[in-house]
Amino acid sequence: MEKSAILHLLEWHQNNGINSVLRDQPRNRLANDFANNLERLENPESPAKMTPQPILSTSASHDHPALACQTLEQLKQVMLAFEGCDLKQSAMNLVFSDGNPKGPVMLVGEAPGADEDRQGLPFVGQSGQLLDKVLKTVGLDRTNTYISNIIPWRPPGNRPPTTQEIAMCQPFIQRHIELVRPKILVFLGGVAAKTLLNSNEGIMRLRGIWRDYVTHDGSAIKALATFHPAYLLRSPGQKALMWQDFLKVEKALQEAEHRL
């Protein structure tokens, strides 16, 4: 292949966010299915042989290692040792959390980006800077909020996490929330909101309405979904809506204080 063609191909990969190498040798994921389909075309009687796919039954979450964790440190150690999610292979760091676990508010985002992966901390890049600004307007910062993500390892090239990756990591964030037990949960963006509210609705419908997040022991935590700050970087016109959502959080915190 000519050098210019190789450079062109590399550029195409880069532009499409394929910028991480996961294995030394390429793997043709279509090979089995292609041979299988060819065989069936030539011999329509032959039964279809499916390429095995990772199957996540609901029972998979019953023996998930997150469930046994009794402290945040235990949870972190279990996640550091976890080998059930391929994202870990391409990520530099586990992004566990930032902020104060004793604070009244816990924020949950989607997945770390490049800056977060490098530093091992959530929301430290451009989205995080915008988030910090919004938090500041309602008297919040990382001394009185706690921040984590649905997915603790950076998806290569910042691609959205797959359904399987979300299902595999969901018990971690669920246990995380149960161990922190904040007064208020804020879900940042559609992935966090849909996953933790168990809904198929989009963020436009889910945001701005108080809901109950129900833990494994059946208790409820007040939860509010809002936009992901990365979306606001692309659509700054929506910032006022996110701010309105955080005003609701501020009001709920004030009401909770008065009740004490």
Interacting residues with ligand URA (CB under 6 A)? 109-113, 116, 122-123, 127, 149, 230
Min separation Cβ 191 and ligand URA, Å: 8
Min separation Cβ 119 and ligand URA, Å: 10
Measured from the CB atom, the residue of 147 and 184 that comes closer to ligand URA is: 147
Min separation Cβ 258 and ligand URA, Å: 32
Min separation Cβ 188 and ligand URA, Å: 6
Residue with tokens 């001394």: 143
Measured from the CB atom, the residue of 117 and 182 that comes closer to ligand URA is: 117
Taking the CA atoms of residue 15, residue 17, residue 18 and residue 20 in that order, the dihedral angle to the nearest 10 degrees is: 120
| 3-state SS class at 226 | strand
d(CA 163, CA 12): 26
Min separation Cβ 140 and ligand URA, Å: 17
Report yes or no: 161 and 228 within 8 Å, Cβ to Cβ. Answer: no
Q: Where are any strands of DSSP class E within the chain?
A: 98-99, 105-109, 145-149, 184-188, 210-214, 220-226
| 3-state SS class at 109 | strand
Measured from the CB atom, the residue of 136 and 251 that comes closer to ligand URA is: 136
Measured from the CB atom, the residue of 122 and 171 that comes closer to ligand URA is: 122
d(CA 98, CA 142): 7
Measured from the CB atom, the residue of 40 and 88 that comes closer to ligand URA is: 88
Measured from the CB atom, the residue of 184 and 232 that comes closer to ligand URA is: 232
Min separation Cβ 149 and ligand URA, Å: 5
d(CA 10, CA 205): 40
Question: Nearest residue by C-beta to ligand URA?
Answer: 109
d(CA 83, CA 72): 19
